[in-house]
């Protein structure tokens, strides 16, 4: 991005209030992968001292959205990306800073070809939630669609 064009992380931080509410940080964003950091703050913790499941979900969904915008940003004039469904598994107690790493599950060209064919493509983004020691505390699958503008 140029100095006058905000990065995807800056754009999402400016336009999605929940990103600011949870102080999410976009660590990495490419068309294949995005990493979001959820800080370890007392107001985000649950009854066992880890981040609340809702905060973990939001970090993961935000990472998935970042990779979708990076991959399909050039399609925004004709379609809006929307999450369709999410499956979440919480595996271990998370403590400390949490990283949500999202990976696009289908080739961009394949999804765009479906859009070109007049379809409403769906595609999965896999998210791994890890704590500072690298242990995976949860997984998410976020299924997105590109809904053509009416």
Query: Do 142 and 64 form a contact (C-beta atoms < 8 A)?
Result: yes
In Å, what is the CA distance from 22 to each residue of 13, 45, 122, 150?
A: 10, 11, 28, 33
Q: What CATH number belongs to 8-148?
A: 3.10.129.10
The mean pLDDT of 55-77, rounded to a whole number, is 97
The mean pLDDT of 113-140, rounded to a whole number, is 97
Query: Do 102 and 67 form a contact (C-beta atoms < 8 A)?
Result: yes
Residues sharing a CB contact under 8 Å with residue 64, sequence separation 6 or more, in sequence order: 34, 83, 102, 125, 127, 140, 142, 144
Distance CA 43, CA 49 (A): 10
Say which range, 36-40, 72-76, 91-95, 144-148, has the weakest mean pLDDT. Answer: 91-95
pLDDT at residue 130 above 80? Answer: yes
**pLDDT single digits (tens) 17-43:** 999 999 999 999 999 999 999 999 999
The mean pLDDT of 103-117, rounded to a whole number, is 97
The model's pTM is 0.93
The structural domains of the chain, with segments of one domain joined by +, span 8-148
């Amino acid at each position: 991005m140029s100095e006058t064009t905000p990065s995807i992380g800056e754009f999402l931080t400016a336009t999605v209030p929940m990103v600011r509410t949870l102080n999410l940080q976009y660590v990495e964003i490419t068309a294949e992968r995005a990493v979001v950091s959820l800080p370890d703050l007392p107001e985000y913790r649950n009854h066992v001292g880890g981040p609340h499941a809702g905060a973990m979900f939001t970090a993961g969904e935000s990472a998935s959205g970042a990779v979708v915008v990076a991959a399909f940003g050039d399609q925004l004039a004709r379609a809006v990306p929307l999450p369709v469904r999410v499956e979440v598994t919480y595996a271990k107690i998370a403590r400390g800073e949490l990283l949500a790493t999202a990976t696009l599950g289908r080739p961009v060209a394949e999804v765009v070809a479906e859009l070109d064919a007049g379809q409403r493509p769906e595609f999965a983004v896999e998210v791994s939630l890890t704590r500072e020691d690298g242990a995976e505390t949860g997984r998410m699958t976020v299924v997105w669609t590109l809904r053509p503008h009416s």
